[in-house]
Amino acid sequence: MSHIRDILDRIVLVAAVIAAGCIPSFISQYRQRIGGMLDQVLQDLAPFQLIANKNHHGSLQELIQHHMDSSDSTFYNEGAAIRAMVESAEQLRNTFQALDTDLFHQISYLAAKIDPLIARATWDVFSPSFDLTVQSIVFGSIVGVLIWMAFLAVWYLFDRLIGILIAR
């Protein structure tokens, strides 16, 4: 039984360090997806910004209000769509800026505010890699060792329980 544990604990340790070491890569790909979405919404807003520059002193808010004040439902709905794009751009910009920091702050931000739809889309095309930065190596090592220690604790408890059951 000891040999099995010796082999399993090494496998768990190596697998946990490698898996944890891939988390920074996922965060990087998540951030890239946010950046791409932000670029797209800003590109979609560009024609409206040109209209606002020409007719509303450069203010998208004035352009939106002009649409919202219309009794024409199509024009009103366009105003709502433009407002949604502006709000989306602001939210994406805030997220992108919040992720423009060190790994540990990125992890804490995402732990609290990850967007599940963006995370799922990122995961669907995720290409695992192990970043060889100091932060990634330290993070992967710490989390890997913690997972390994949890495995050892569970193994120890399981071993003690079996020992107690056999002794009865």
Residue entry with tokens 């990125």: 106
pLDDT confidence band for 132 (50 / 70 / 90): confident
Alpha helices in the chain (DSSP H): 2-21, 23-55, 60-68, 73-98, 103-113, 116-124, 134-167
| 43-52 mean pLDDT | 96
Asked if 111 and 74 touch (Cβ cutoff 8 Å), the reply is: no
Per-residue pLDDT at 142: 93
| 62-72 mean pLDDT | 94
Model confidence at 163: pLDDT above 70: yes
Model confidence at 1: pLDDT above 70: no
Per-residue pLDDT at 111: 95
Per-residue pLDDT at 3: 81
- Residue 112, CB-side half-sphere exposure with 13 Å CA sphere: 8
Average pLDDT over the chain, rounded to an integer = 93
- For residue 55, give both structure tokens: 């007719």
Model confidence at 167: pLDDT above 70: yes
Model confidence at 110: pLDDT above 70: yes
Model confidence at 100: pLDDT above 70: yes
Q: What are the structural domain ranges in the chain? A: 1-22+130-168, 25-129
Per-residue pLDDT at 124: 97
Model confidence at 117: pLDDT above 90: yes
What's the rounded Cα separation, in Å, for the pair 83 and 38?
15
Per-residue pLDDT at 66: 95
Instruction: Find, among 122, 127, 103, the residue nearest to 35 by Cα.
Output: 122
Model confidence at 95: pLDDT above 80: yes
Q: Which residues of 8-47 are buried (b: 16+ CB within 10 A; e: fewer)?
A: eeeebbeebbeebbbbbbbbbbbbebbbebbeebeeebee
Asked if 19 and 25 touch (Cβ cutoff 8 Å), the reply is: no
